[in-house]
Amino acid sequence: MVDIGLVYDLRLPFADPQARARQYRTMLEQSAWADRHRFSRIAVREHHGMDDGYLPSPLVAAGGVAAVTSTVTILLQALVVTLHDPVRLAEDLAVLDLMSAGRLVVVAAAGYSDDEFAMFGVASADRPRLVERAVQVIRQAWTGEVFQLDGRRVRVTPRPYRSPGPPLLLGGASEAAARRAARIADGFLPVRNRHFGAYQEAVAALGRATPGPLPPAGPPFVHVAEDPERAWSRIAPYCLHESNAYGALARQSGVLTGYAEHATTDSLRASGAYPVVTPDEAVALCEQLGPAGQLTIPPLAGGMDPDLSWESLELIADRVLPRVALTQVDVDSYRHSPP
């Protein structure tokens, strides 16, 4: 058994509005497809002001996913809470949780792009305080009760689908983020699984039961093809764009995200970061991950042509899914150790 999900950031370099609209429609069509095929989750991401039009409105995108699905968990992974008003976030998240009938999981992040902080008038040094404030305000707002915030009367209605609201996790790439998650969040999703041990230690130090390990995870990119060599020649430019765009952002921000810049597609392929596998190899990967494993597929990575992405997904449906048992993960399983 394996937990399989899709993830979208909707990059599309040099695109006209028609091409970008097609990409957004494809995300919704593929989300509905994944729901029918019993995938476990669909995640959407957030960045602002990117040259390639990276998704800036994950709440709107997640609302679209909620409208075309009925069983998959919807992850905001991650929601950069430092760039949003927390009261408005509490309202929007409650509505989204109701639209999805309780299928929402929120991964709150501090963010790491200096350009984005400047765009929203946020001081980078103020991120830890803003994250804590956002989590506190959202949790208090989800009670539906009146409270005071900076001298203002605040009340958020309607409340989320279930009390106390959707799981509220923290994302991060530092031990400080791990310790913060232990204090204020329902769980911690580190970048590339770094610092989860620090999170477990911090939870134990607070006198709570230590969370178990994170599930085994496959590579952050997988593309399935009958002929991997031919497929790589077609998808390589998209993969190179994604890796270089993420890599440049990580270099500029000084944050280790696992992405690197490459001069050529040959160099990128040699790195092993973007595997193209046959259906048999995909089945073997699922078996290797085991019953608790997670496999995440970004079908439109780097602005990939929708037709290419569908080729991979349809091959998964025809040649992989009949040979593996899918795990359906309950939303509450994301609550590693609620405070």
Tokens read off for 183:
């204090």
CA-nearest of 250, 294, 239, 303 to 272 is: 239
Mapped onto helix, strand or coil, the DSSP state of residue 25 is: helix
Helices (H), the chain: 17-36, 58-68, 86-99, 114-120, 127-141, 175-184, 196-205, 228-253, 265-271, 279-289, 306-315
What span, in angstroms and rounded, lies between the C-alpha atoms of 303 and 273? Answer: 17
What span, in angstroms and rounded, lies between the C-alpha atoms of 339 and 337? Answer: 6
**312 near 224, Cβ under 8 Å?**
yes
- Three-state SS sequence of 268-304: HHHHCCCCEECHHHHHHHHHHHCCCCEEEECCCHHHC
Tokens read off for 172:
């991060």
Q: How many CA atoms lie within 13 A of 216 on its CB side?
A: 11
Tokens read off for 288:
């290797």
What span, in angstroms and rounded, lies between the C-alpha atoms of 18 and 36? Answer: 27
User: pTM for the whole thing?
Assistant: 0.96
Model pLDDT, residue 292:
87
- What does each of the 339 residues of the chain score in pLDDT, given as a tens digit? 799 999 999 999 988 999 999 999 999 999 999 999 999 999 999 999 999 999 999 999 999 999 999 999 999 999 999 999 999 999 999 999 999 999 999 999 999 999 999 999 999 999 999 999 999 999 999 999 999 999 999 999 999 999 999 999 999 989 999 999 999 999 999 987 789 999 999 999 999 999 999 999 999 999 999 999 999 999 999 999 999 999 999 888 888 788 999 999 999 999 999 999 999 999 999 999 988 899 999 999 999 999 999 999 999 999 999 999 998 888 999 998 888
What span, in angstroms and rounded, lies between the C-alpha atoms of 296 and 216? Answer: 11
CA-nearest of 96, 46, 47, 57 to 73 is: 96
Buried b (16+ CB within 10 A) or exposed e, 132-164: bbbbebbbbbbeeeeeeeeeeebebeebbbeee
Domains and CATH numbers, the chain: 3-334 (3.20.20.30)
Buried b (16+ CB within 10 A) or exposed e, 241-270: bbbbbbbebbeebeeebebbebeebeebbe
Model pLDDT, residue 288:
95
Rg for the chain, CA atoms, rounded: 20
Model pLDDT, residue 6:
98
Amino acid letter for position 286:
C
**265 near 236, Cβ under 8 Å?**
yes
